[in-house]
Structure 1
């Protein structure tokens, strides 16, 4: 009995010591979402996984950057403050910069030929965005100068980008994000066109067009470089809430190439998500359109966007997509004599009665719309 008592006392002391170490502040800091520093040896019993979030179009009309002007700079951060925590919680967050970010020196402008302040890049990064997709129909709105200015600024602030490039070498260097959890993700981006604007001779790298041969070549390269590949397509028809056959065919083509996730943009409204099976039996998550995340469009459905979230889980040499979820968002603003004031992206469930009288009905409609092909799609926060 005496030895048993000694054993119990020693066990109790060891248990308290372990708990104290576990609850230490240093450990809490090391395990924050984007700065995990535990070693593989310590966690080789855990299946590595990361969380990825994607948002739709960042469409900066002149009324948006005018509202962001605070007298000495363009401050977009308050517009994203209510959703910043949701975006930054993921290990990787990707956004579609619909309007070229060429900066003030070449003249800011809204529709139809957009040019946005550099400060929108700062705001997106501050809110937790890690990757920008640039291939869309407005990429060439300010010509090569706008593209070069935007990329130079992304590089200055350390923001990753894809879909539009400085030169051929830049284009051939696939954008891959590495994570502390040991999962790497490659990003590619393509657009159906550039509003009829001519791409400068000998400079196809300025914007990736949807070309199946190029897509095949780059996806195969990306699949070798990274554990998972995510492709953004700027496709479909504006204001259409359901994908057309061209979108479905292209998404299936990507699935057959082994792409893990397809993210769609351009319709400016939400289109449903779907699982597709590739020719090798792989599953590909497709979101045909994530709508607008931040824009100056007034129409009701143009103001509803959202955050697509999913997990990438690594088992051996394979990575698969799990637990897709969607949190709808809403662009709230005050209107006065044709101007927008106090523009803010908020979770849809927080929309005020003044902005949306039938909020619960809208929530139910959006849930039914987005999950009609994926009944298990998790909803809300």
Structure 2
């Protein structure tokens, strides 16, 4: 296969003959539900926002034997399993319990999280964010070893130079391939260890250009995840718009944003070649321990990819607003779960339907025909 050849070439060039071939690139979605007619080449791809696991979240997940995040995600599991490919932003590094679990400002999450998001339907995690280096290289290497152990794809943080040089491509059973790239604006001032820039992809236009050009050779579509913007701002700033335009000018098909922890609008951006790039500037928090209303609202962003001969198109963007529901008992967060916002009651959130309608208007203000997932 084309990406296997690329791995071999990269290892020869880098001289890393002892580097093991990345095991997760040919990743068929055998357990996904298909909504594809036999004569069509069509897939759906979904993305969710930040998995930002504060101590109050993992403490609530502890059931006496292990950390159970799957029950928190159960109300939205169907929406993550139905798409052909589902990706998530792993905001808090998953270095495991051996390093000691930790909270803001330097997070560390348990391995159980990876198992549970995989069972819930996530196929790939983006790791490039401002918390990637929170617990140093050890946490990154621990996370990657565990992802590889369970067959979870990852991008944005890497174990070696050869690993970073390997573009992540998912080849689906429908004959459509997708490449995934991930970059962050910074690492909260924590320096990258000397000679190990591969540990986290930072936003660098020359690297992005090179990666996108390589991805375009390997896959039918290219999806770029940016960790950028200003926290808690509901509209993208000029820097976000400029970076999205840069990606569109390179021919990127989809851009997915993270970091503001609140939802920002979805829109189409026209590249310099007249191509259209689908953009979600920020998908907000999907699962976190943040209390403020807008920081409890995230969503499932979904789109369709269709291939006819050599022509590939992205169309039919859709969105499902979600809400992090919890109860406070003696100042302790408990019964945390992620709900489709359409099912939230007034007992759980005053004027729930009003907030839902406002959120729908907010994300769709710059795009015509955005569908809302039922």
1:375 is aligned, of 368, 371, 374, to: 368
Partner of 2:194: 201
For 2:360 and 2:150, locate their aligned partners in 1 and report how far apart those are by CA, in whole Å: 36
SS in 2 for 1:364: helix
Question: Cα offset for 1:339?
Answer: 1.3
SS in 1 for 2:239: helix
2:32 is aligned, of 31, 34, 38, to: 34
Whose Rg is larger? 1
Cα RMSD (Å)? 1.5
Partner of 2:119: 126
2:307 is aligned, of 281, 306, 314, to: 314
Q: Which consecutive unaligned segments of at least 5 residues does structure 1 have?
A: 1-30
Which string of whole-angstrom CA distances, capped at 9 and with x for unpartnered residues, describes residues 143-199 of structure 1?
000000000000000000000000000000101011000000000000000000010
1:99 is aligned, of 87, 92, 104, to: 92
Partner of 2:282: 289
For the 8 Å contact 1:33–1:91, the answer to whether it is kept is no
Which string of whole-angstrom CA distances, capped at 9 and with x for unpartnered residues, describes residues 336-373 of structure 1?
22211110001001112222120111111011100001
Question: Cα offset for 1:318?
Answer: 2.3
For the 8 Å contact 1:262–1:285, the answer to whether it is kept is yes
For the 8 Å contact 1:290–1:306, the answer to whether it is kept is yes
Question: Cα offset for 1:316?
Answer: 1.9
Partner of 1:353: 346
For 1:250 and 1:216, locate their aligned partners in 2 and report how far apart those are by CA, in whole Å: 11
1:344 is aligned, of 326, 337, 344, to: 337
Q: Which moved more, 1:333-342 or 1:52-61?
A: 333-342
Which string of whole-angstrom CA distances, capped at 9 and with x for unpartnered residues, describes residues 60-87 of structure 1?
0000000000011111110000001110
1:216 is aligned, of 205, 209, 228, to: 209
SS in 2 for 1:55: strand
TM-score by length of 2: 0.90
1:141 is aligned, of 134, 139, 148, to: 134
Q: Which consecutive unaligned segments of at least 5 residues does structure 2 have?
A: 1-28
Question: Matches of residues 161-176 of structure 1 in structure 2 within 5 Å?
Answer: 161-176=154-169
SS in 2 for 1:49: strand
Question: Cα offset for 1:58?
Answer: 0.2
Aligned residues: 345
For the 8 Å contact 2:33–2:81, the answer to whether it is kept is no
For the 8 Å contact 1:164–1:171, the answer to whether it is kept is yes
Question: Cα offset for 1:47?
Answer: 3.3
Moved over 3 A (4+): none
TM-score by length of 1: 0.89
SS in 1 for 2:300: strand
Question: Matches of residues 236-315 of structure 1 in structure 2 within 5 Å?
Answer: 236-315=229-308
Question: Cα offset for 1:35?
Answer: 7.3
Question: Cα offset for 1:33?
Answer: 6.7
For 1:221 and 1:148, locate their aligned partners in 2 and report how far apart those are by CA, in whole Å: 25
